[in-house]
């Protein structure tokens, strides 16, 4: 890999590394090199973007340069930026992200928005997050609703460890995480709200995903190994047993023909209402269902 010519002289500045990254990305046919360089340096130097330019003449240590170059190599090999830095922001909260968990997307914040809307008149709501993963939805709701009682369940113990660390990171104490396979069992308690971003990519579409997704993110969080509707079938059949009267089930859905297929499953069951809601890009990405 091409390296900075001044690296060996130990006089590489912040501005040099940012400029080099932009040129290196262009040489590889990649865009956004400057922004990527800024993000990596923010994490390495534990500073904000504006501080990089306030201190743009700062000399970087050889260890910092070496780590930076190793991160760039990983990015060139399609590894997601979030796994490299180990962090991302979700609903205003900095979360730890490891290869054990699916990387939360901004679109999923819409699930949180709608959940908060339906709970605005509920005092001390009980919330269940099915397939909690990194804990992003559960933690965001617990943080926004300190009077709520939130439970996050997942089949994977490694994901639950990450979720618990994220809750601890923000000192969220109105949340618990449990290992549970929703396909085989259901909680004994009942809830005002169930939220979920389940695996919804059909197995036959996995090969079409970007390499940085299919080669790095856990497949258990991406696909149900079938048609992408397995978890919606299950939630449609069990929601009435664990939802309070007039409770809500709010789920993220996929793209293309997936949203209407998921909606139909709930129209075929006895619910008071069901509708698809658009995300901020104008796509149907959230399914809201109300119990009788």
Q: Is residue 172 part of a domain?
A: yes
CA distance 194 to 192: 7
Does residue 228 sit in the same domain as residue 285?
Answer: yes
Q: What is the pLDDT of residue 10?
A: 57
Domain that holds residue 223: 87-290
Residues 19 and 68 in one domain: yes
- For residue 113, tell me if it sits in a domain: yes
How many Å apart are CA 104 and CA 107, to the nearest integer?
8
Which residues pair with residue 150 across a beta bridge? 127, 175
- Counting beta carbons within 10 angstroms of the beta carbon of residue 251, is it exposed (0 to 12), middle (13 to 18) or buried (19 or more)? buried
Same domain, 166 and 63: no
Q: Is residue 82 part of a domain?
A: no
Q: Are 38 and 113 members of one domain?
A: no
β-sheet bridge partners, residue 191: 243
| Domain termination residue (choose one: 77, 106, 126) | 77
> How many domains is the chain partitioned into structurally?
2
Same domain, 137 and 270: yes
Q: What would the pLDDT profile of 66-111 be if each residue is shown by its tens digit?
A: 999 999 999 999 999 999 999 999 999 999 999 999 999 999 999 9
Q: Which of 24, 59, 77 represents a domain boundary (last residue)?
A: 77
Instruction: Give yes or no: residues 224 and 142 share one domain.
Output: yes
**Are residues 261 and 216 part of one domain?**
yes
Contacts of 164 (CB under 8 A, 6+ apart): 135, 177
Q: Are residues 168 and 57 in the same domain?
A: no
Give tens-digit pLDDT for 208-251.
999 999 999 999 999 999 999 999 999 999 998 999 999 999 99
Q: Domain of 58: which CATH number?
A: 1.10.8
Is position 41 within any domain?
yes
Considering the domain architecture, whether residues 236 and 272 belong to the same structural domain is answered as yes
Burial of 19 (0-12, 13-18, 19+ CB in 10 A): middle
pLDDT at residue 4 is higher than 70: no
59 and 125 both lie in a single domain: no
Residue 24 domain-assigned (yes or no): yes
Q: 267 and 135, same structural domain?
A: yes
**Residue 2 placed within a domain:** no
Instruction: Tell which of 57, 77, 97 closes a domain.
Output: 77
Answer yes or no: do 257 and 154 share one domain: yes
CATH number (domain holding residue 125): 3.40.50.150
Average pLDDT of the segment spanning 165-184: 97
Please say if the pLDDT value at position 198 is more than 80. Answer: yes
């Amino acid at each position: 890999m091409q390296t900075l010519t001044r690296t060996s002289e130990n006089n590489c500045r912040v501005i040099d590394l940012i400029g080099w990254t932009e040129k290196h990305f262009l040489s590889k046919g990649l865009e956004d090199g400057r922004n990527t360089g800024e993000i990596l340096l923010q994490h390495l130097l534990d500073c904000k973007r504006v501080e990089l330019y306030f201190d743009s003449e700062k000399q970087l240590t050889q260890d910092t340069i070496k780590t930076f170059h190793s991160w760039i190599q990983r990015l060139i090999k399609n590894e997601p930026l979030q796994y490299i830095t180990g962090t991302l922001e979700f609903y205003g909260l900095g979360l730890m992200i490891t290869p054990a968990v699916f990387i939360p997307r901004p679109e999923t914040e819409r699930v949180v928005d709608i959940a908060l809307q339906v709970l605005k008149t509920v005092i001390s709501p009980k919330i269940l997050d099915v397939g909690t993963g990194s804990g992003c939805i559960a933690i965001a709701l617990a943080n926004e609703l300190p009077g709520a009682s939130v439970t996050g369940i997942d089949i994977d113990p490694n994901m639950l460890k990450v979720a618990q660390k994220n809750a601890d990171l923000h000192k969220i104490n109105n949340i618990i995480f449990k290992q549970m396979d929703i396909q085989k069992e259901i909680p004994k308690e009942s809830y005002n709200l169930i939220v979920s971003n389940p695996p919804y990519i059909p197995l036959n579409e996995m090969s079409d995903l970007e390499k940085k997704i299919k080669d790095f993110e856990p497949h258990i969080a991406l696909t149900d190994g079938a048609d992408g509707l397995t978890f919606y079938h299950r939630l449609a059949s069990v929601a009435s047993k664990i939802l309070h009267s007039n409770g809500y089930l709010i789920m993220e859905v996929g793209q293309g023909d997936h949203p209407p297929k998921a909606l139909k499953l709930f129209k075929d069951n006895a619910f008071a209402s069901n509708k698809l809601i658009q995300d901020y890009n104008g796509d149907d990405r959230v399914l809201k269902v109300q119990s009788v």
